[in-house]
Amino acid sequence: MVELVLIGIGTGNLEHLTLQALREMRECDLILLPRKGDDKAALAEVRQELCAQHLESETGISEFDMPVRDASVSPYKKRVDDWHEAIAKCWLDAIGSQAGEVSKVGLLVWGDPSLYDSTLRIAEKLPESLQVKVRVVAGITSLQCLTAAHAITLNTIGEPVLITTGRQLRDNGFPASADTIAVMLDGECSFQTLDPAGIEIWWGAYVGMPEQVLLSGALSEVGPEIVSLRTAARKQHGWIMDIYVLRRST
Ligand SMILES: C[S@@+](CC[C@H](N)C(=O)[O-])C[C@H]1O[C@@H](n2cnc3c(N)ncnc32)[C@H](O)[C@@H]1O
């Protein structure tokens, strides 16, 4: 039986690690560390730095190359499913190579494993013969970091919030049922597809990290500014992750 602990590490600030996450990391026999492509080297570096700062030499670290999604596979769901299988195989190889020696394996998950993250789905693909028991340690999400950075509440009084993606916003617009939406995984500043009248935006990139940049205001005014700031920041750092909240003004 192997215990697989998915440890939320926050979104790039080394101080996001909770005391619980720290203890769980230290109790692991083995930590699996994905190597990202060059454009996301900063993300891999955060995980490496956390291990360097907090782990003793007896904790094993196994780095693996993240498999690449095969763009020729369709439909999209099968492409993602195949990719998840390939990642599960990497985990299995790393755990299997130390069979009998590891009982607690840790994965350091960006933000929290519950929010736009596939780690739990990949864990389901591990073979039953491994007898894996999965546990989750909560982490600080990018959405929490964004609302904290702007010092705003996510919801208005008694109202729901919809968390969605850039693609959904482009395809379906601002849902009529929500007055507040949070948008993630948006590489295209999809708010540009909306009629900006009466919408406010709170935007952030690299939230929680030293590179953090924030902008907020009426979408009609700050929208174009966000687009050019995002382009410049991406050029400067070689990568970007951004997130925003949109709210209909009352
Ligand atoms: C694959 S999802 C992972 C989300 C993560 N599990 C969480 O709890 O925040 C990646 C998306 O999260 C958002 N994100 C993650 N880290 C971020 C950061 N430091 N700054 C801004 N957005 C971030 C971006 O919208 C990015 O496209």
For 21, 123, 199, 234, the CA distances from 191, given in Å and listed in that order, are 35, 34, 10, 18
- Ligand 1 contacts CB of residue 110 (under 6 A): yes
Model's pTM, two decimal places?
0.94
What structural domains and CATH numbers belong to the chain? 2-140 (3.40.1010.10), 143-248 (3.30.950.10)
Q: 192: left (phi > 0), else alpha (psi -120 to 50), else beta?
A: alpha
Cβ 12 under 6 angstroms from ligand 1 = yes
> What is residue 43's predicted lDDT score, i.e. its pLDDT?
83
Q: What is the pLDDT of residues 168-205, one digit of tens each?
A: 999 999 999 899 999 999 999 999 999 999 999 999 99
d(CA 215, CA 204): 7
Q: Which atom of ligand 1 is nearest to the CA of 112?
A: 8
What is the per-residue pLDDT across 105-116, written as a single tens digit (0 to 9) for each? 999 999 999 999
Could you tell me if the CB of 185 is within 6 A of ligand 1?
A: yes
